[in-house]
Amino acid sequence: MTLVPESRVLLTDALRPPAGHRVDVVVGTTYSLDLTALLLAPLSFAVSEQVEGDVSRVDPIRLLEAVRRHTEHTTVFCQAGGIHVPSRYRSILTFVEDSVVEVTAPAEDAIFHPKLWALRFAGPGGAVSHRVVILSRNMTFDRSWDTALVLNEASDGAIDAAPAADFVRGLPARALRGLPADRTRQVDDLASTLATVRLAAPTPFTGGALLPIGLDGADVWPFPERAYRVLAISPFLTRQAVRALGHVADERTLVSRAESLDLLGSDALTGWKVDVLQRLVEVEPDGDVAESQPARSEFESGTAGLHAKTFVVDLPDGTSMTVTGSANLTGAPWGRSVEFGAKLTGPTAACGVASVLDGSPGVPGLSALLQDYHPATTAGVDDPAIETSYTLERFHRFLASNLPVTHVARLDDDRAQLSVSVEIPPFVPGMTRIWPVSLPDGHAQPLAPTTTWTLAHLNVTPFLVVETTAGDGDARVTRRCVLMGDLRGDVDSRRHDAIFDVLRSKQDVLRYLLFLLGDPSYDALLAEIAGSGEEGFHPESRGTRQDVALLEPLIRAIGRDDDALARVASLVEDLRAMPNGHELVPDDFDTLWDAVWQVHREARR
């Protein structure tokens, strides 16, 4: 598939294990991170396929089970100071805390910007299979025009996975705080099996190579000296990089965002045919068009508009190369910021610039969605807000990198006290407020070396919101992000409370048990007992079932799925430890479980 508008890849399909496989280890990287989006990723990993965007529509019990099951083998590396403030705090976010690792780029003042997923799946009989996914979208709910390259393992694949393995192996060293030993081992183990894997190139491409950038400080510039034709798609630009790529070919097209082109000015674009997406192909999340908003940086790039970074070059030998990934046309060569991309090659007729822009019979090309653009000025315009937004980003990165510490003290059965200590740099831009992400912003306090809140145990969190406003007039910018504090003196029942914040009745526990067992034959039944807007084929015949037989999936799990039984055992333990636990145990389950557990133990002897 080339980048004609109708080539579409579903994010959930990109992450979901192949049929008959389960997720074994996952490593993801992103520049900015939406914690709620991170919450949804495990749903894609789960065997059950019910995943559609909106988190409020997801069955909370299904979500709880998926998150608990998958966070222990999922690690996401993101830029320090790059975590977005979630629109609403949920206590379930407590389970993703261990998955999130804040990192910084090796080069001074550079950013960690790759959007890479490396996944290992376990199949029947212990066979493993790998996938490398290279995106231009961060782990956020953006609705922008982004690309996805999904590379699956194939023994005769044209692409060597080793560069991704090396990249993944190098990530823990970039972490602000040391990773727990078992996570580092997990990441290393994924890297070691990925290192010998071959990946298939997507048709019609016939070859390719992965492009890790910035971890080793080496320059990367995959473009040839001379070529026939270039198509560059990049939302952000610098004059120097546009000039460098311009030398490659006389016939060249640049697709970018109007505000980025205005910053550059038309002089810097001489020789380029310059296009932007037509405004009305920028589909808004709610389906209605909003006021056109300029994007100043990747962090605030908004939800709509062009966000892909892809370059197509027609070479003199009748082949073409496509470079796609996270790197904007803002550096030439690339190498300061940490990025990840891939180069794909194939015949120009199928993979060249014309195939993307003009399409083929019955397949519209990208040109159909583009319009010419001429910047208003020759020398470019300054946006004073950009300088402020960089200053704020650096400031937030400083706060994150100096490791805030959050001390928790238990006050009584319900309440705890949270004391946050932050290192404040000598120069502080503008006004800054801080508050725990679990509280509304009415609880914000001015930034100080130590700030204190009293809150419910359930709301104890290492995630802190900082919000800074600086600059005057046109240069005025407000930036909000989440920092992770080191949580010390944790309230021990916090995660336990978070589970039973979701599981409130026997019915809930029953459904949770079924999810824990993960038996595919029960999916329909689950939907039925959920009674949650899921419409059956004949709604009039639908009743609520309280009497689901757990016996069958439990017995099936014996000797087949020890993990499933271990998950159930852990829940049973939690339930039995609770003072009112017996009120939540489904009728007759205790007897059944004791019998099953005994058989299981005998079978293992």
Alpha-carbon span 39 to 112, nearest angstrom = 21
What tokens were used for 150? 């999904």
> What SS3 state is found at 344?
strand
Alpha-carbon span 520 to 564, nearest angstrom = 13
Query: What is the DSSP pairing of strand 272-277 with strand 229-233?
Result: unpaired
What is the closest distance, in whole angstroms, from the C-beta atom of residue 453 to another protein in the complex? 34
What is the closest distance, in whole angstroms, from the C-beta atom of residue 564 to another protein in the complex? 13
Query: Which residue type is seen at 297?
Result: S
Quick one: 521 or 580, whose CB is closer to another protein? 521
Strands of 229-233's sheet in order across: 207-213, 339-347, 319-325, 310-314, 229-233, 251-256, 272-277, 370-372
What is the closest distance, in whole angstroms, from the C-beta atom of residue 519 to another protein in the complex? 8
| Residues 479 and 468 sit within 8 Å (Cβ to Cβ) | yes
| Residues 457 and 497 sit within 8 Å (Cβ to Cβ) | yes
Quick one: 369 or 447, whose CB is closer to another protein? 369
What tokens were used for 510? 């029953």
Quick one: 86 or 172, whose CB is closer to another protein? 86
User: If DSSP states are collapsed to H, E and C, what string results for 378-434?
Assistant: CCCCCCHHHHHHHHHHHHHHHHHHCCCEEEEEECCCCEEEEEEECCCCCCCCCEEEE
- The total number of residues shown for the chain amounts to 605
Quick one: 199 or 422, whose CB is closer to another protein? 199
Alpha-carbon span 5 to 15, nearest angstrom = 21
Alpha-carbon span 180 to 195, nearest angstrom = 23
The H or E element that residue 22 is part of is strand 22-30
What is the closest distance, in whole angstroms, from the C-beta atom of residue 364 to another protein in the complex? 5
What is the closest distance, in whole angstroms, from the C-beta atom of residue 371 to another protein in the complex? 6
- Name every residue whose Cβ is closer than 8 Å to that of residue 193 and which is 6 or more positions away in sequence: 120, 128, 130
* Residue 459 CA to its chain's centroid (Å): 24
What is the closest distance, in whole angstroms, from the C-beta atom of residue 443 to another protein in the complex? 29
What is the closest distance, in whole angstroms, from the C-beta atom of residue 44 to another protein in the complex? 10
Alpha-carbon span 12 to 52, nearest angstrom = 8
What is the closest distance, in whole angstroms, from the C-beta atom of residue 541 to another protein in the complex? 12
Closest residue by Cα to residue 66 from 90, 29, 38: 38
Q: How many CB atoms lie within 10 A of CB 17?
A: 20
| Residues 460 and 491 sit within 8 Å (Cβ to Cβ) | yes
Give the count of alpha carbons within 13 A of 302, CB side only. Answer: 17
Upstream peptide bond of 204 is cis (omega within 30 degrees of 0)? yes
Rg (Cα) of the chain, in Å, rounded?
26
> What SS3 state is found at 311?
strand
Alpha-carbon span 515 to 63, nearest angstrom = 10
Quick one: 225 or 291, whose CB is closer to another protein? 291
Quick one: 22 or 480, whose CB is closer to another protein? 22
What is the closest distance, in whole angstroms, from the C-beta atom of residue 327 to another protein in the complex? 16
What is the closest distance, in whole angstroms, from the C-beta atom of residue 54 to another protein in the complex? 8
What is the closest distance, in whole angstroms, from the C-beta atom of residue 142 to another protein in the complex? 8
Alpha-carbon span 239 to 231, nearest angstrom = 16
Phi–psi pair at 151, nearest 5 degrees: -115, 115
What is the closest distance, in whole angstroms, from the C-beta atom of residue 560 to another protein in the complex? 8
What is the closest distance, in whole angstroms, from the C-beta atom of residue 282 to another protein in the complex? 9
Quick one: 29 or 406, whose CB is closer to another protein? 29
Separation of first and last alpha carbons in the chain: 52
What is the closest distance, in whole angstroms, from the C-beta atom of residue 262 to another protein in the complex? 7
What is the closest distance, in whole angstroms, from the C-beta atom of residue 319 to another protein in the complex? 16
Rounded to 10 degrees, the C-alpha dihedral 136/139/145/147 comes to 40
